[in-house]
Amino acid sequence: MGKFVIKTGTNGQYYFNLKADNGLKILASEGYTSKAACQNGVASVKSNARADSNYDRRNSTNGKYYFNLKASNGQIIGTSEMYETSSGRDNGIESVKSNAPGASVVEE
């Protein structure tokens, strides 16, 4: 099972990364002004991760692929890494779907 890692950035904001069992980052958050807000972001990922309709599949200007996970209100709650292929991106989505709902939360 994956895990959410919460960290404080050099700017004082809080961020989370969802990491797969192999330690690779599969989803990253935007900055939050408080730890509580960051924890709410983690909870939102857990509750929204299973629904395929919450994933916005994107192509970057440099020809790579990525996705955004959105909450039911349309707000982006996490962004993936860049992938070389669309199938790599789709595998990343499947990894979030399977890892996020039961992932533990740790602080570093």
Q: What is the largest CA-CA distance in the chain?
A: 36
Q: Which domain CATH number covers 13?
A: 2.30.29.80
Q: Give me the pLDDT at residue 14, please.
A: 98
Domain range for residue 19?
3-107
pLDDT at 21 over 90: no
pLDDT digit string (tens) for 62-101?
999 999 999 989 999 999 999 999 999 999 999 999 999 9
Residue 17, classed as helix, strand or coil, is strand
Report yes or no: 103 and 2 within 8 Å, Cβ to Cβ: yes
Facing residues of 66 across strands? 58
Per-residue pLDDT tens over the stretch 43-70: 999 999 999 999 999 999 999 999 999 9
For the chain, the domain total comes to 1
